[in-house]
Amino acid sequence: MNATATEPGSAVGPRIKALRDAMGLSLRDLADRSGVSAPMLSQVERGETSPTLASATKIAAGLELTLSQLLRLDEAGHVVVIRAADRRRQRRDGHTLEELTPPLPGQRADVSLHALKPGAATGGPGDPPMHEPGSRETAVVLSGRLALFVEGARHDLASGDSVTFDADLPHHFENEGEEPTEFLAVIAAGLRRS
C-alpha cells in the first residue's frame, strides 16, 4: 500500500502553490529547499498526483511549515472571528496595539491597529528590527498625523496616507502632533526583495 498524504484532486496541491507563490518561490526554489523534484512538485500542485507522507513532510519543511500546518490538521476551522472585545492588546508609554488577526499556524501576515497619544512612539530610534528577514510592512493612517522613521529617514504621513517598507530595517512611528493618531499595520512575513 502506498502511504499518501491526500487523495488526488484534493486541496493540498493548490495550497502548496498558493503558499509557494506567497513566499515568492519558484518551483526550482521549493525543490531545492524541500528535496522534492520540481517535476513532482508541479504534478502535485496541478492535482495530478498526491505526495507520499514523506514527500509532503519535505514539502512542508521547504515551506517552513509542519506537515500538520500544511494539511491544516491543527486548525479548528477556516473562518476565525475576532470580536472587538476579545482582541489581544498591549499598552506601553502612550502606544496601544491591538492584534486583529488570530495567531494561526503558518499565517504569513498579521494585521494590527495602533493608537498613539501625542508625543508617543512605537519603540525608539535605537531599537533593533522586530520583524523577520524579508518582512514587509504596510501602514495606513486612519486619523491624525504620523512620522515614520526607517533607517533614520523621515516620512510624514497624514490621515488617509499609506506607506509600504521593508520591516526588517530599523524603524519606528512617532506622533509629534497634538491630537491622537490611529493607524493600521499589515506585516507580511518572509517576502523576497526583488
| pLDDT one-digit tens code per residue, 168-187 | 888 999 999 999 999 999 99
**Please, which pLDDT band fits residue 84 given cuts at 50, 70 and 90?**
confident
User: pTM to 2 decimals?
Assistant: 0.60
**Please, which pLDDT band fits residue 4 given cuts at 50, 70 and 90?**
very low
Beta strands 136-143 and 162-166: pairing type?
A: antiparallel
C-alpha cell at 45: 500542485
User: Which contiguous run of DSSP H or E holds residue 174?
Assistant: strand 171-174
Q: Which domains does the chain have, with CATH numbers?
A: 12-71 (1.10.260.40), 84-188 (2.60.120.10)
pLDDT for residue 1 is more than 60: no
pLDDT for residue 22 is more than 80: no
Q: What angle do CA 100, 105, 111 make, to 5 degrees?
A: 20
C-alpha cell at 108: 504569513
The answer to whether 56 touches 44, Cβ cutoff 8 Å, is no
For residue 50, the SS3 value is coil
Rounded percentage of the chain residues whose pLDDT exceeds 90: 44
The answer to whether 131 touches 189, Cβ cutoff 8 Å, is yes
